[in-house]
Chain A
Amino acid sequence: MKSLGKTLKGGEKELFKAITDKDNHVTINTVRKDANVFFGSFDGKGKNTIDFGDVDLLDAPENAGEFSAAQVIGHETLEAYHSAINQTTVSTDSHNFANQFFGGLEGGTTVPNSTVFDKGNKNLLGYKVDFPINGRKGVNARVTFEFQTPIPVTALQANKVKKGSQLVHVTKVEKSP
């Protein structure tokens, strides 16, 4: 095993360390199409969750070679490993550690004119967001969101939509300029 470890580099080497570490343990919970998990979530002290409904979308042909399923799994695993070692519930340091080897998504921007409304334009059904990929300058993952419960336009206009309260599903991921 030791000789195998010596042949690895970068993210593979870090994953190898996590797998062979007898003192620090990682738990990865899995869900599918859970609107409360966007690809992955940090749960603290060695625990993360991965949404395979979201991750499966990354292997679509239009997304090939960009933000990959392996990248998400590597990122979430190393993030959990870092928080297991440090016994932390604060995600920032663990997120930054994982980004060194498997770049995650950065803060997104709504794609102009990407909003989709129902007939009569009374409810917002979905929209697209471009997320820059850490470590891949100029490359975004364009994610299409669909609301589980459409949002009335009147609520949007009155800014009555509470932050984080609208559950959405990721329905498509493609690369964008």
Chain B
Amino acid sequence: MMRNNQNTFERMIAVAILMLCLFLTGHATCLGQKIVLNGKVIAYENSLVRITKLTDVPREETFYVKVEKVSKGKESSEFLKVKYRYIGEKNALPESLFEGKNRWKFVMLRNQECDQTGITENPAVSLVKIDEDERLPQDATFPCYLLVKEKLKAIKN
């Protein structure tokens, strides 16, 4: 009996957290929800650390994607911020991702903690625009996602 009450209580807490999350953010994707989409990388953050060989130190790539088609999950924003954290060069993203030649299929998990409003200037990091014709809106909110690298696929044009 006590066990049942505890389970019910835990479920109620989980639903309450989910409702609060939806209420606060207005986004349908919440709490690490998965999204699958096609798009292209239009800019990435660059610094001297990025070109340095670091073998046993976690590193992070940050780039911006222009969404072309969402095939699973919901996302209304046209531009997304994407992060990918890894250790070791063999787990790095393909350099072709940052060359702007391909469109890509992305599988990503929502992470509201790194949502960003506007493009902020950082003296240690420069924003490299891959395609000069694609402009990142300077004051927009960029919903943030974590990339699932194993599912990343180039789409042939």
Contacts and interface: CB of A to CB of B under 8 A. Distances in A.
A129 to B, nearest CB: 6
Given A92-B87, A159-B128, A107 B59 contact: yes
B147 to A, nearest CB: 14
A127 B124 CA distance: 11
Contact of A159 (B46, B55, B58, B91): B46
A164 interface: yes
A109 B48 CA distance: 9
Contacts, number: 89
Contact of B52 (A42, A76, A129, A159): A129
Given A108-B49, A110-B47, A129-B49, A164 B56 contact: no
A109 B45 CA distance: 12
Given A110-B48, A129-B48, A129-B52, A163 B95 contact: yes
Contact of B60 (A90, A104, A107): A107
Interface residues of A, number: 40
Given A41-B56, A42-B56, A164 B51 contact: yes
Interface in A147-167: 159, 161-167
B56 A76 contact: yes
B88 interface: yes
Most chain A CB within 10 A, of B58, B59, B91, B95, is at B58
Interface of A: 35-42, 48-49, 75-76, 79, 90-92, 95, 104-112, 115, 127, 129, 131, 145, 159, 161-168
A40 B55 contact: yes
Nearest to B57: A105
Given A42-B88, A129-B48, A35 B53 contact: yes
